[in-house]
């Protein structure tokens, strides 16, 4: 646990905040890599990614509402981070509402399917 002084009171930053941030970044990188690989190989994954982003949006909604209302926020940085994460998750969730087009493959006879 690290702490620092701000305006005559001590703000504590627990290790769970660092671990959760690293796990969230790894989760986003994994989702991006899987999405790009599925696009490259012609797999339709919009359904799976829609469920992923819907669950992420739902979880972030509660954190965002708490940050905006000022409830249980350890510092201004935590509040700003929660608002920024929500601002990034919302457009991705909206764009995930549209399905991927059916992939185009060439049969052995040269016909598009």
Nearest-angstrom CA–CA distance, 99 and 3: 46
Residues 75/6, Cβ–Cβ less than 8 Å: yes
Q: How confident is the model at residue 105 (pLDDT cuts 50, 70, 90)?
A: low
Q: What pLDDT digit, counting tens, does each position of 69-93 carry?
A: 876 666 777 788 888 889 988 998 8
Nearest-angstrom CA–CA distance, 88 and 14: 24
Q: What pLDDT digit, counting tens, does each position of 25-67 carry?
A: 898 888 888 888 877 777 777 778 888 889 999 988 988 888 8
Q: What does DSSP assign to residue 10?
A: E
Residues 10-23, mean pLDDT to the nearest whole number = 74
Q: Which residue blocks in the chain are alpha helix, DSSP H?
A: 15-41, 46-69, 76-95
Structure tokens belonging to residue 57: 């949006």
Q: How confident is the model at residue 109 (pLDDT cuts 50, 70, 90)?
A: low
């Amino acid at each position: 646990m690290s702490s620092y002084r701000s305006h005559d009171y001590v703000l504590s930053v627990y290790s769970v905040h660092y671990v959760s941030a690293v796990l969230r970044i790894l989760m986003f990188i994994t989702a991006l890599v899987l999405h790009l690989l599925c696009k490259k190989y012609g797999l339709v994954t919009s359904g799976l990614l829609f469920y992923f982003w819907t669950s992420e949006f739902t979880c972030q909604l509660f954190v965002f509402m708490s940050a905006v209302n000022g409830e249980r926020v350890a510092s201004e940085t935590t509040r700003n981070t929660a608002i920024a994460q929500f601002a990034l998750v919302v457009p991705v969730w909206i764009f995930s509402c549209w399905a991927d087009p059916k992939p185009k493959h060439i049969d052995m006879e040269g016909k598009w399917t």
